[in-house]
Amino acid sequence: MIGTDPNLGREVVSAEVLRNRIAELGAAITSDYEGRAPLLVGVLKGAFMFMSDLSRAINLPVEFDFMAVSSYGSATRTSGVVRIIKDLDIDLTDRHVIVVEDIVDSGLTLNYLRRNLMARGPASLEVCALLLRDGLQKTDTDLKYIGFTIPPAFVVGYGLDVGERYRNLNAIVEYVGAE
């Protein structure tokens, strides 16, 4: 599909490199949270594949919950306005929370999300982002776990989309089509 779709450009992160790095992140989280059961909070929809694979790479009991936030709509650029579309079902009080993000661009959505979640009284709150888009941050992102730092191109695949398309690609690929 990648080679035949004119909207898709170069492969940024291959499926094999993704698998290897997620195993490393899982091992780091396992070590850092030894004796604790972290709550993974997946940011939908983009992080669902990453969170699934990451959770299997963590050798600890983990729990899951999901949030859906939006600052993009169907565009390839953030609107800057963050909306919570689906909130958590689990109380965060005294929990060790790891927010699992697909990609961090400006950091504004993540900053909003972090403030919102910290107000709920977790014992700890860290972020595991699959991708950090280099040079676009407008705020300190303070990410404990980063899969990859990538150039500022718009990417799709492995859960990331444009207009709900391309989430099923097993690699991260540059999107070169029109918005």
Q: Is 75 domain-assigned?
A: no
Q: Is 22 domain-assigned?
A: yes
Distance CA 8, CA 161 (A): 12
Q: Is 61 domain-assigned?
A: yes
10 Å Cβ neighbour count for 14?
13
pLDDT digits (tens, 9 = 90+) for 110-166: 888 999 999 999 999 999 999 998 875 555 567 899 999 998 889 999 999 999 999
Strand order across the beta sheet in which 155-156 lies: 8-13, 172-175, 155-156
As for how many domains the chain has, the answer is: 1
Which residues span the domain enclosing 168? 8-67+81-175
**Is a pLDDT exceeding 70 seen at residue 41?**
yes
Q: Could you check whether the bond before residue 144 is cis, i.e. omega within 30 degrees of 0?
A: no
Distance CA 9, CA 5 (A): 9
Q: Is 12 domain-assigned?
A: yes
Q: Is 1 domain-assigned?
A: no
CATH of the domain at 122: 3.40.50.2020
Q: Is 85 domain-assigned?
A: yes
Distance CA 124, CA 17 (A): 29
Q: What is the pTM of this model?
A: 0.89
Tell me the catalytic residues.
Answer: 105
Q: Is 3 domain-assigned?
A: no
pLDDT digits (tens, 9 = 90+) for 103-119: 988 788 888 899 999 99
Distance CA 149, CA 118 (A): 25
Rounded (10°) angle between helices 15-32 and 48-57? 60
Q: Is 2 domain-assigned?
A: no
Place of tokens 């004119």: 6
Distance CA 35, CA 39 (A): 13
**Chain centroid, CA 166 distance in Å:** 16
